A = this chain, B = another copy of it.
Amino acid sequence: MPSKPLQRTNLKQLAQELGLSISTVSRALNDSYEIAADTKERVRQKAQELGYEPNPYASGLRSRKSKTIGLVIPEVANNFFSLAIDGVEEIARANDYHVLIYLTHESHEREATIIQHLAGGRVDGILMSVASESPDASHLATLVESNVPLVFFDRVGEGIATARVTTDDYASGYRATEHLIEQGCRRVAYLLISDTLSIGQKRMEGYRAALQAHGLPTDASLIVPGTLDRDQNTRRIRELLEQDPAIDGIFASVETLAISSYEACQQLGRRVPEEVKIISFSNLATAAYLNPPLTTIRQPAYEMGKKAAEILFRAISKNRPVLPTQSAELQSTLVVRRSTGG
């Protein structure tokens, strides 16, 4: 025997049971002003009793409100994004909204198809952190055309007129580099994820500026682009350290590259921090318990997710487009630990 259909209670049944019209019941449940208070109560009671749950697809179709937002991020196995999701979900729940999650795995192609689907009206708004592979933001233009509110967080798409929630990447890059220099580093390598990513660029600008300000050369060979493969990254860093033994500092612009750096140093027998000092952008919960404890620039990931969601919901509720002027820049904090210590 196939599964029983089992009729879910709908407005019609509820109305019949109450001896009211469908429209009245609908209005009562939506707390309309034209329904008497006692009627509302009676309807609510019955709805509760019958376990009525409105069909989201019917109301979505009619009202053109999906009560859903899309969250598009590169990956989830990453503390920054995990914490951001947490913040987003918090605000969404507070607004009675649902969250669709999509992972691009840094692929431009995946990102483009996801966006195309979302432009079809499945969501009322989108929060995203762009994939490192994305060469530009042209695939996001359709979104703007479709009038789907969009807010970037951390990794922004250049040239799209919308709000962005970022951290002080330039200043953080500067501060991190300066910290290494103050700790005695004279030759600092910079590990980045992708050349097209604006945050990587900004952090690198800060890095460059700090080196110059302290009269240190900004050698192009010191800048190492990473890949999506951790082992390959480790290999590259190892090669870098072997080919340029003078390197005494590593600035990882992203968490995974810090882990690869630890790996590389371990494989080469380089002692951290005595021979090589390491600093990294990271939200690792275990940074303090690593060997040695990792000096990090911690982004307020949870707050960024919250902030981005708040901006999005303000636009959704007011039915206004998201403006670039609503952008916010939060502060990262430098947490000094032994990996850059004396």
Contacts and interface: CB of A to CB of B under 8 A. Distances in A.
A89 B103 contact: yes
A77 B5 CA distance: 38
A289 B3 CA distance: 51
A262 interface: yes
Interface residues of A, number: 58
A98 interface: yes
A285 to B, nearest CB: 7
A16 to B, nearest CB: 19
A328 interface: no
Interface stretch (A29-37, A142-150, A245-253): A142-150
A145 B53 contact: no
A116 B61 CA distance: 21
A270 to B, nearest CB: 14
A30 to B, nearest CB: 16
A325 interface: no
Interface of A: 2-6, 8, 51, 53-58, 60-61, 66, 68, 71, 75-79, 82-83, 85-86, 89, 98-103, 116-117, 119-122, 142, 145-147, 259, 262-263, 284-286, 289-293, 319-321
